[in-house]
Amino acid sequence: MSIGAGEIDVAAPEKPSLTGRVMRGAAWMIGGRVVVRALGLINTLILARLLVPEDFGLVAIGVTVMQLLQNITDIGVSRTVVKFRHAGCEQYDTLFTISLIRGLVVTAVMLFAALLADNFYNDPRATVVFFGISVVPLLHALMNPRFFEFERELDFSKQFWLEAADKLLGVAVSIAIALVFRTYWAIILGLVAGTFAQMVMSWVLRPYRPRLSFAAAREIGGFAGWLAGLSFVAALNNKLDVLFLGKFVSPADVGAFFVGGSIASLPSGEIAIPMARAVYPGLSELQGDAGAMRRAYLRSAEALAFIAMPASFGVAFIAPDLVALLLGAGWERAALMLQYFSPAAGLAVIFYATNAYALAMGRARLIFLREVLVFFIRMPIFVAAAYFYGLLGAAIACAVGLLVIASLNAGLYARLSGGSPFEPLWRARRSLAGVAVMGLYFIVLRDHVATIDDWLLAARLMVDAIAGAGLYFITVLTLWRIEGAPDAIESVAINQVNAANIRLRRFRNSVS
């Protein structure tokens, strides 16, 4: 199917338009993430030269508390809209009302925390920061639930413009205030301005007049309730590890864990997660056709492995050089996260669409139970490993946790589809072989390449990236040819390359 995670079966001629829409949706999602990340990086680099580190640290505390509260109370408005494909005013009004109440509660908790922040952090500015940031959850709560109809229709271009408006206004406000006043309020007001822009755009792009109502609370309550529970447990899974690690290792190792983990998760975060999100509306559109949903899921596993897996393993193979280039001296231990976390993430991406599969089938309860099980398996392992082995133990524990999640997702797929838990791995067989050949080069052959370690760092990385990617794609395409060139992700990729070449030739002809 498509180059996106949700690969809707290209072998099903009755659904060609769905395939194309999922492909375009994945492209918009990945492109949007790239643009947002780039704008965020520009904003950070400029503010870092206008403000002092204490400003960033102070605001980071308030933002972390706000994000934790947002995460543990998330009711999954967008996923609920996608799931209820024939939602009307009653459903939208109910979602808006519940979301508004949630926003008011989170804002109230933030205001209460502001009263305690001064004493807790021994800094009177903390109270002001908490007060300022408390506006953000309320603005989020005022988002238009009907906006997520675009996602249901696989039109992710609107999401792109929404996030672009958020970042553009936020960056402009932050930089302007920092230039004039040199105060941490630049960060706070930039965040508020961006969230306000996002909220306004949601109503401009999909006009709707909401009412306060609980008319459909019973209908959507079960699904949204399980999503809220899932968000709560997922927030604990994602936030507690750093808090525990800080008790066992030095602040420098905590920094290496956090920054190294951020780099290690880039392939899965910036490629696999957007692809998996794009597949959810496609799977939801296939509700009622169990066979088509199963085929679409397996094609998504195939696509995720083809695109995201080599990137994750590649990051692991070049970890020391990549960390040296990106972070400089003093960050060498951050490479541990890349070396252990990235390969495990590469295997886990095969199953990234499992959540979308379960949600499309209305089985949010199973995802919640899986997340609870992950917490009780992963957290004791992480705490023990960090206590006895420090940063190395934490890195290995994170990798083990990802493999546990992948195993549970394989079992969840089997339960949902009635098939074998190994089917997604079989669909990813050519990509797994390609990664194995790539690993053979880096682990066995690379050290025998004359003088490569004497090259400039950037040149060495470029050669390694080209060699790894070349070996991967040559292996995958060779096996695909040996298998008779089946209708698979490779054929989709080749068709996309050919189409891009045709468009490029037409463009050249038009300007010549």
- pLDDT digit of tens for each residue in the chain (512 aa)? 333 333 333 333 344 445 566 666 666 766 777 777 778 767 777 887 788 767 776 787 788 788 888 887 887 788 788 878 778 899 999 999 999 999 999 999 999 999 998 888 788 888 999 999 999 999 999 999 999 998 888 788 898 889 889 989 999 999 999 999 989 999 999 999 999 999 999 999 999 999 999 999 888 877 777 777 777 787 777 767 766 777 788 877 877 887 788 788 888 777 788 787 778 787 877 877 888 889 989 988 999 999 899 999 999 999 998 888 877 777 888 899 999 999 999 999 999 999 889 988 888 888 888 988 999 999 999 999 999 999 999 999 999 999 999 999 999 999 999 999 999 999 999 999 999 999 999 988 877 765 666 677 888 888 899 999 999 999 999 999 999 999 888 888 888 788 778 888 887 777 76
Q: Which tokens sit at 106?
A: 């989170």
Cα–Cα dist 224/48, whole Å: 40
pLDDT of residue 1: 32
pLDDT of residue 160: 86
- Residue 244 half-sphere exposure toward CB, CA atoms < 13 A: 22
**How many other CB atoms are there within 10 angstroms of residue 343's CB atom?**
22
pLDDT of residue 21: 63
Q: Which tokens sit at 224?
A: 């949204």
pLDDT of residue 452: 60
Amino acid of residue 181? F
Q: Which of 163, 458, 183 is nearest to 321 (CA)?
A: 458
Cα–Cα dist 102/484, whole Å: 54
- Residue 285 half-sphere exposure toward CB, CA atoms < 13 A: 21
pLDDT of residue 367: 86
Q: Which of 270, 195, 296, 303 is nearest to 29 (CA)?
A: 270
**How many other CB atoms are there within 10 angstroms of residue 438's CB atom?**
23
pLDDT of residue 301: 92
pLDDT of residue 16: 44
SS3 for 414? helix
Q: Residue 405 gets which letter from DSSP?
A: H
- Asked if 169 and 41 touch (Cβ cutoff 8 Å), the reply is no
- Residue 115 half-sphere exposure toward CB, CA atoms < 13 A: 5
Residue 137 backbone phi and psi in degrees, to 5: -60, -35
Q: Which of 452, 459, 463, 450 is nearest to 325 (CA)?
A: 459
Amino acid of residue 419? G
- Residue 423 half-sphere exposure toward CB, CA atoms < 13 A: 20
Distances (CA, A) of 151 to 76, 82, 99: 13, 7, 18
